[in-house]
Amino acid sequence: MSLIPSILSGYLCVAVSLALVWLRQLKTRNAGMVDPVWSWSLGFLGVWFAVFGSAPPSVRLVLAVLSGLWGLRLGTHLFVRNHGHPEDGRYARLREEWGGKANVYMFAFFQVQALFSIALALAFIVVAYRSTAPSTGALVLAALVWLFAVSGEALADWQLEQFKRNPANKGRVCRDGLWFYSRHPNYFFECLHWMAYVPLAFGGAWWALSLIPPAVMAFLLLKMSGIPVTEAQSARSRPGYAEYIRTTSAFVPWPPKKS
């Protein structure tokens, strides 16, 4: 499939998936399922472009494996975290602020996420449609960055989940493991994951476009729906979070300041 039809059809698949999630939340009044579905759909886009791209088969196979496993892991983690639980505080607050227009605004919000999916999928597109294979060194570097980033994010998710499972920690601030060095280590490793596709794209005609997805993800997490919303909620609900903010790096893992 040529480039433009594959982009349009891939976007349509994601937009329809998120529209179905929106229909579901009309009944459940819980928008939290958009998180795993968005992650799964991004992983799907990586596999989609790998299947229909024109790059050498070995390159597209690597792309499909890296993007597919990343999306499967993250989406499944978010599904397990959200399923059967009350609506995430971020969406509950938006629903309250939007009032009677909440459903309309929620649909628009979900569809904006579909557009961001295509911006992030540039990382996959420039790899899937390059005309030559990257060097062996670039392949090794991509695999190492991917492994470090996905393992780090999975570890941060697991540490936070273990902390929350202990009833004695209810209302407390997690400082276990990676969370001792960063207030959002999972976000840091998520951004780093998108850098794994830069070596795969390097040398191709449009490789510089692969730098856009890490910047887009950093913007989403640092300035839009990640840290600002999460920390505003935590500051209201968790005693000691202000001290955590004062002493601990927001993003890059780093030794904390002394209390």
Q: Assess whether pLDDT exceeds 80 at residue 51.
A: yes
Q: Sorting pLDDT into bands at 50, 70 and 90, what band is 94?
A: confident
194, amino acid identity: W
Q: Assess whether pLDDT exceeds 80 at residue 93.
A: yes
3-state secondary structure of 135: coil
CA distance 68 to 41: 10
Q: Sorting pLDDT into bands at 50, 70 and 90, what band is 14?
A: very high
Helix axes 34-52, 57-82, angle to 10 degrees: 170
Contact 134, 46 (CB under 8 A): no
Domain boundaries, the chain: 3-247
DSSP string of 21-81, one letter each residue: HHHHHHHH---TTHHHHHHHHHHHHHHHHHHH--S-HHHHHHHHHHHHHHHHHHHHHHHHH
* Residue 237 pLDDT: 74
Contact 155, 33 (CB under 8 A): no
Q: Assess whether pLDDT exceeds 90 at residue 85.
A: no
Contact 126, 46 (CB under 8 A): no
3-state secondary structure of 245: helix
> Mean pLDDT throughout 91-104?
88
